[in-house]
Structure 1
Amino acid sequence: MQVSARGDYAVRAAVSLASTHPTTVSAQSLADGEGLPHKFLEAVLADLRRGGVVTSVRGADGGYRLARDPGEISVGAVLRAVDGPLAGVRGQRPEEVTYDGASAHLPDLWIAVRAAVRNVLDEVTLAQVATGRLPARVRRLVGSEGAWEPR
């Protein structure tokens, strides 16, 4: 799985909002706090608003805040709001891909990869990331042999 710049910025902004929940934070403050380009972040926040992850407040004290408690919003939900499905093959969902010959069973592998990604990203909430209290299963994955190797 590859996390796009939009996805990375979205998760960073959402985690930042989780750390200040339920306070409303301006896009400029979010951009400054996370070192993100303001204009690009505005577009990402619009995607998060359309996806029901954040709400926006107009006016002098306006800005953004999470639409729900940070313990109810998964990292997977944030990524889907800006990037769509979590795993794809050549722009298609794994169950839509078919192959002939020796590769005929490859879609099963792609579906398993999607399930594995979902099992992590849908289990971890913004609150857990913001506090550093990742689920034990995820912490074990982080500490597993080879997890930090760039291959």
Structure 2
Amino acid sequence: MISQKSRYALRALVALTRAGHGNSLMISEIAVDQDIPKKFLEQILLELKRNGIVMSKRGKSGGYLLLKEPADISFGEVLRIIDGPIAPLPCLSKIAYRRCKDCKDEDECEIRHVFAKVTDATRAVLDRTTLADAVGEIDLIAKMDRVTTL
């Protein structure tokens, strides 16, 4: 399960994606539109800024904007920045590996083998799904709904 912080980060990034290339949004705009506590959003955006996902601009037309193209920002990348490793078991983590305390032999661990398949599939979906994909899918569904209601 992803954290609320990651959900907020993804919602803020989707809002910035929808704003369009080169357009910035103020923290207060994102916070109100996405129903995210402003102080918490400030911390999230600062973390995303430190990791090269967003940048901030000062002045009249200031705010936050995407530093990278939405097609170059995957859900997996964002989740790793905010929550850390994507692994249900410490022995499956690529960046924070730790042997399970009660495990006698990882090669023979049935639990590890099942969760390795789940983890690999989850990582594959998250790493190949970008902000552009997510926004595009929602836009396509909305268009289809409009067509069927006509």
Higher share of residues assigned helix: 2
Question: Which position in structure 1 is the counterpart of 2:24?
Answer: 24
Matched AA of 2:112? P
CA distance in 2, matches of 1:37, 1:121: 25
Tell me how far 1:8 sits from its aligned partner: 0.2
Given that 2:86 and 2:93 are in contact with CA atoms closer than 8 Å, whether structure 1 keeps it comes out as no
More off after superposition, 94-103 vs 78-87: 94-103
Larger Rg: 2
Q: SS of the counterpart of 1:24? A: coil
> 2:114 and 2:47 mapped to 1: Cα distance?
30
Query: What is the deviation of 1:77?
Result: 1.1
TM-score (norm. length: structure 2): 0.77
Unaligned runs of 5+ in 1: 135-151
Separation in structure 1 between the aligned mates of residue 104 and residue 14 of structure 2, nearest angstrom: 43
Unaligned runs of 5+ in 2: 140-150
Distance 1:20 1:30 in 2: 10
Instruction: Classify 1:92/1:41 alpha carbon distance in 2 versus 1 (closer, same or farther; 3 Å).
Output: farther
Shift, 1:97, TM fit: 2.3
Name 2:142's counterpart in structure 1: none
Task: Report the counterpart of residue 58 of structure 2 in structure 1.
Answer: 58
Greater shift, 109-118 or 98-107, is seen at 98-107
Aligned length: 133
Identity %: 34
Question: In the alignment, residue 12 of structure 1 is paired with which amino acid?
Answer: R
Indicate the residue corresponding to 1:73 in structure 2. Answer: 73
Within the alignment, does 1:8 sit opposite 2:7 as a pair? yes
Deviations 1:37-64 (A, max 9, x none): 1111111111111121111112332211
Tell me the TM-score normalized by structure 1: 0.76
Which residue in the other structure is 1:146 paired with? none
1:91 is displaced (CA, Å) by 9.4
* 1:126 aligned to which of 99, 122, 131: 131
Q: Separation in 2 of the partners of 1:59 and 1:77? A: 30
State the one-letter code of the partner of 1:120: V
